[in-house]
Amino acid sequence: MIRYLSSRLFVFIIAFFLLTVFTFSLNFFFPGDPVTNMTGVRTFSDYYPVISEIRGADKNIAFQYINYMQNLLSGNWGASLSSGDYVFEHTYQHLFASLELIVGALVLAVLIGVPSGIFAATQFRGPIDKGVISLAMAGYSIPVFWLAQLLILFFAVKLDWLPITGQINPLYGIAPQSGSILIDIVISDSDYKAAALQDALNHLILPVIILSIMPMMLLLRLMRNATQDMLQKPYVKAARARGLNEFQVLIKHAVPNATQSVLQQVPLIFSLLLSNSIVIESIFNWPGIGNWLVRAIFERDFPVIQACVLIIALTILLFNLVVDLYRGWRFPIVRQE
Amino acid sequence: MQLLDIRNLTVEMKTPHGIVRVLDKVNLQLGKGEIHSLVGESGSGKSLLAKAIVGFANPNWEVTADRLWWNGQDLLAMNTKQRRAVTGRDMAMIFQDPYSYLDPNSTIEQQIVEAIPEGDVRGTFMRRRVDRKTRVKRLLHRVGIRDHESVIDSYPFELSQGVAQKVSIAIAIAHRPRLLIADEPTTAMEPSTKLQIHRLLARLAASQEMSVLLISQDLTSILPETKQLTLLYCGQLMETGPAEEVINHPAHPYTDSMLRMSLQTQQELPHKARLPTLPGAIPTLRHMPIGCRLGPRCPYAQKQCVKAPLATQKQQRVFHCHFPLLELES
């Protein structure tokens, strides 16, 4: 396990290094002067030489990278050009707002996708299996932005059951602290906590459901194929011959082994979720990282773009690491590979 | 009464090229605590016979028989559930490749515990846990694994092939079956492991009154304790009878050829001498000869061999051949 752990950590560190090299190089890839881009100080300004000096813009590139890394690790990520806020605090607030959606969608996808995939596998090639798989195929192919607008039109506008956009009704006056609205409500000193929570959950329903559809269908198909595969394995047949009933065979042998192979794909599903969340957040005006990134791109807010790219990639890397470690811990055969 | 009584078992397989008869009217009788060896080359249908007995059903197969009786019960008349209950209670099977028949993601302990019948352990929850653990240890000792500590928490891929095979035997005997079917259990194993496993099977048969149906590819790897010997070729029964008699006085040309092949592995052949094999190759499923399927390869074959020979019985021996090598008293 220690060998596996260290190899995974090593891969993570290498990936993190490459990632920071990339975000650092963004300084120079954005059109214009790097110092102006990152600080907003124009070249003809009196402050320009001072700022240049502080940022070490005239030193060599390795020095600049080390300087960048020091700032990065000490939480000094610069200030937004459009709002003047410190980027670091806002980055994690926006990230938590996004994670609220993403985690919700992932949980929903797992809760529905995995059991229906297993169920479809037991009905392999039967009418139910075919129906479920065609539905999954359709669900996977529907464009998210179109479906989102359709559902808003139906549930929010026509039926008026759910709010159209946003995280919460601003009248509740919940001050953003962690970024995640549910946590913010719990730690706030509002007099209407229960009502605010209710309202926040209402706001969550639509985006979470829409975001979860694609990964849900993907998980369903993966799980169905993997389980079906495992049900053909000799050890499953042997377990059947030993007198185990179909349910025991499924729970004890087919599903754990199918999970082992599906888990490999879960980080991919997570990055799919993150990229889809950019679209969903823009549609629902959710104050998440994706929405922020899109706005920053329109506003040429370079420090924010840099921070968003870094934090999105880092989240995916971390998630990957966690899944890998879990796989290695739960399924020792993985460590052999 | 015989424990297992099979009369004219036929298995037909649906292929894209029509129906192929992969087992053709095979008979097999097995008594209590008896070791029965089933010998045949690859494609002879010996594994298929074993699978037909334990009901490893494949929807593509059509299994018919005049009799498929287990302990006086007709297995073919049962539905899947009843049959699984009977085979799960009374039979067990071990295979050539132990790794693929062990769940790669469960520990050895979990897999053996799963095979111990629920009725064997009683008492409170904690009592049952402890009881199961001691049973697992005892089973591992019985199959000749002394350091159970290291094996019990291992996963199959961490074990050597010999140990993995012993574990699968432990799983097989956990519910004290009355019949153990061993499908080429020692192929590709080193000689010492092979010998250990063979002795283990013989000991189990003797001490637990467990019948063993041992399937092997050649006559060199059958147990010395074998009581009955059956030879299959391309799904047809060639010869069956008490092992000693069959080996010392083969009646069927096929038995004779197999014996000479196995003897040749022990004697030295002269330089550039021909191997005493039968001419030709094993026919493919699509091109099965009519009549006696050994016909095209048999050195004694004549015109009559296009008709399947009827069974000839001589004392306890049965063989299917028009031209047996054995003198028949008229």
Same domain, A224 and A301: yes
Q: What average pLDDT does chain A have?
A: 87
| Residue B328 confidence (pLDDT) | 57
Instruction: Say yes or no for a CB contact (<8 Å) between B114 and A242.
Output: yes
- Least reliable range by pLDDT among A165-169, A202-206, B34-38, B54-58: B54-58
Per DSSP, chain A holds a count of helices (H) and strands (E) of 16, 0
| Residue A13 confidence (pLDDT) | 94
| Residue A212 confidence (pLDDT) | 92
CA distance A125 to chain B (A): 14
Q: Report yes or no: A235 and B156 within 8 Å, Cβ to Cβ.
A: no
Cα-based distances in Å from A220 to A116, A140, A257: 6, 10, 16
Instruction: Say yes or no for a CB contact (<8 Å) between B103 and A240.
Output: no
Instruction: Say yes or no for a CB contact (<8 Å) between B171 and A257.
Output: no
Q: Report yes or no: A281 and A203 within 8 Å, Cβ to Cβ.
A: no
CATH topology of domain B4-105+155-266+280-320: Rossmann fold (3.40.50)
Residue B244 has pLDDT above 90, yes or no: no
Q: Would you place residue A258 in the very low, low, confident or very high pLDDT band (cuts 50, 70, 90)?
A: very high
Same domain, A113 and A231: yes
Same domain, A68 and A217: no
CA distance A237 to chain B (A): 7
Pick from A233, A241, A333: which is nearest to B56 by CB? A241
| Chain B residue with the nearest C-alpha to that of A336 | B157
Separation of CA A52 from chain center: 36
Same domain, A226 and A277: yes
Instruction: Say yes or no for a CB contact (<8 Å) between A242 and B101.
Output: no
Separation of CA A280 from chain center: 12
Q: Return d(Cα A212, Cα A103) in angstroms, integer.
A: 9
For range A57-78, the mean pLDDT: 85
Instruction: Say yes or no for a CB contact (<8 Å) between B87 and A243.
Output: yes
Instruction: Say yes or no for a CB contact (<8 Å) between B84 and A256.
Output: no
Q: Return d(Cα A198, Cα B326) in angstroms, integer.
A: 92
Task: State how beta strands B228-233 and B35-40 pair.
Answer: parallel
Geometric angle at alpha carbon A254, from B166 and A115, rounded to 5°: 160
Q: Any CB–CB contact under 8 A between B103 and chain A? A: yes
Residue B329 has pLDDT above 60, yes or no: no
| Residue A315 confidence (pLDDT) | 92
Confirm whether A63 is domain-assigned.
yes
| Residue A320 confidence (pLDDT) | 92
Q: Any CB–CB contact under 8 A between B87 and chain A? A: yes
| Residue B173 confidence (pLDDT) | 86
CB-neighbour burial class of residue B79 (10 A; exposed 0-12, middle 13-18, buried 19+) = exposed
Confirm whether A161 is domain-assigned.
no
For range B16-30, the mean pLDDT: 84
Q: Any CB–CB contact under 8 A between B88 and chain A? A: yes
Same domain, A138 and A14: no
Contacts of A331 in chain B (CB under 8 A): 105
Please identify among residues 171-190 of chain B the ones whose CB lies closer than 8 Å to any CB of chain A.
Answer: 171, 175
Q: Would you place residue B265 in the very low, low, confident or very high pLDDT band (cuts 50, 70, 90)?
A: low
Both tokens assigned to A55: 């940022």
Q: Any CB–CB contact under 8 A between B82 and chain A? A: no
Q: pTM score, two decimals?
A: 0.81
Instruction: Say yes or no for a CB contact (<8 Å) between B95 and A238.
Output: yes
Same domain, A215 and A267: yes
Which residues lie closer than 8 Å to B4 by C-beta, 6 or more apart? B28, B29, B30, B53, B69, B70, B71, B179, B211, B213
Same domain, A325 and A230: yes
Pick from B88, B104, B157: which is nearest to A257 by CB? B104
Residue B13 has pLDDT above 50, yes or no: yes
Q: Any CB–CB contact under 8 A between A333 and chain B? A: yes
How many A/B residue pairs have CB atoms within 8 Å? 60
Residue among B95, B171, B165, B163 at smallest CA distance from B135: B171
Same domain, A61 and A110: no
Residue ranges per structural domain of chain B: 4-105+155-266+280-320
Both tokens assigned to A280: 């969903």
* Total number of domains in chain A: 2
Contacts of B157 in chain A (CB under 8 A): 333, 336
CATH code of A130's domain: 1.10.3720.10
Mutation pick from B101, B154, B175 vs chain A, by most beta carbons of A within 10 Å, is B101
> Of the residues A41, A73, A105, which one is the last residue of a structural domain?
A73
| Residue A197 confidence (pLDDT) | 85
For range B60-71, the mean pLDDT: 84
Cα-based distances in Å from B216 to A215, B36, B188: 49, 11, 12
For range A94-99, the mean pLDDT: 90
Please identify among residues 131-190 of chain A the ones whose CB lies closer than 8 Å to any CB of chain B.
Answer: none
| Residue B330 confidence (pLDDT) | 46
Contacts of A240 in chain B (CB under 8 A): 84
Instruction: Say yes or no for a CB contact (<8 Å) between A241 and B114.
Output: no
Q: Return d(Cα B98, Cα A238) in angstroms, integer.
A: 11
Contacts of A238 in chain B (CB under 8 A): 93, 95, 101
Same domain, A9 and A138: no
Same domain, A67 and A95: no
Three-state SS for A248-317 is HHHHHHHHHHHHHHHHCCHHHHHHHHHHHHHHHHHHHCCCCHHHHHHHHHHCCCHHHHHHHHHHHHHHHH
| Chain B residue with the nearest C-alpha to that of A255 | B105
Q: Any CB–CB contact under 8 A between A247 and chain B? A: no
Confirm whether A32 is domain-assigned.
yes
CA distance A121 to chain B (A): 17
Contacts of A253 in chain B (CB under 8 A): 103, 106
Mutation pick from A125, A242, A260, A330 vs chain B, by most beta carbons of B within 10 Å, is A242
In tens, the pLDDT along A190-221 reads 778 888 888 888 888 899 999 999 999 999 99
Same domain, A40 and A138: no
Pick from A242, A243, A260: which is nearest to B105 by CB? A260
| Residue B264 confidence (pLDDT) | 63
- Least reliable range by pLDDT among A266-275, B96-105, B170-179, B245-254: B245-254
Helix axis angle, A255-263 relative to A302-330, nearest 10°? 150
Q: How many CB atoms lie within 10 A of CB A138?
A: 10
Largest CA distance in chain B: 72
Instruction: Say yes or no for a CB contact (<8 Å) between B105 and A333.
Output: yes
Residue B63 has pLDDT above 80, yes or no: yes
Contacts of B104 in chain A (CB under 8 A): 235, 257, 333
Same domain, A136 and A245: yes
| Residue B267 confidence (pLDDT) | 66
| Chain B residue with the nearest C-alpha to that of A233 | B100
| Residue B315 confidence (pLDDT) | 78
Q: Return d(Cα A46, Cα A51) in angstroms, integer.
A: 10
Phi, psi for residue A325 in degrees, rounded to 5 = -65, -40
CA distance B92 to chain A (A): 7
Q: Return d(Cα B94, Cα B167) in angstroms, integer.
A: 10
Expressed as residue numbers, the domain containing A104 is 87-145+208-330
| Chain A residue with the nearest C-alpha to that of B96 | A234
The percentage of residues in chain A with a pLDDT greater than 70, rounded to a whole number, is 100
- B33-50 residues labelled b (16+ CB within 10 A) or e (exposed): bbbbbbbbbebbbbbbbb
Q: Any CB–CB contact under 8 A between B54 and chain A? A: yes
Cα-based distances in Å from B40 to B6, B231, B260: 18, 6, 14
Q: Return d(Cα B209, Cα B177) in angstroms, integer.
A: 10
| Residue B120 confidence (pLDDT) | 77
Separation of CA A118 from chain center: 25
The percentage of residues in chain B with a pLDDT greater than 90, rounded to a whole number, is 0
Please identify among residues 253-282 of chain A the ones whose CB lies closer than 8 Å to any CB of chain B.
Answer: 253, 256-257, 260
For range A309-337, the mean pLDDT: 89
In tens, the pLDDT along B112-152 reads 888 888 777 777 888 888 888 888 888 888 888 888 888 88
